[in-house]
Amino acid sequence: METFNDVINSGQLVLADFFATWCGPCKAKDYVLAKGEEKGEETAKKG
């Protein structure tokens, strides 16, 4: 299992996703990320 430090030091582009259910902007961002997953974009590693 990779740790957070392993991932951010891997040399790849990393998006650290922090989310709160009460946060409006978090919900909007989550929607955009979900649409990217639906399109099958494999530009990011999800873990």
- What's the total number of domains in the chain? 1
Q: C-alpha distances in angstroms, 41 versus 14, 33, 38, 45?
A: 15, 10, 8, 10
Inside any domain, residue 47: no
Report pLDDT for 12. Answer: 81
Sign of the CA dihedral 4, 10, 11, 15?
negative
- Mean pLDDT within 16-22: 82
In a domain, 45, yes or no: no
Asked whether residue 24 is domain-assigned, the answer is: yes
Q: What is the pLDDT of residues 27-44, one digit of tens each?
A: 888 777 777 666 665 555
- DSSP code of residue 22: T
Average pLDDT of every residue of the chain: 76
pTM: 0.41
- Indicate whether 12 belongs to any domain: yes
Model confidence at 2, in pLDDT bands (50, 70, 90)?
Answer: confident
Range of the structural domain that residue 27 is part of: 4-38
Within a domain: residue 30? yes
Asked, for residue 44, whether it belongs to a domain, the answer is no
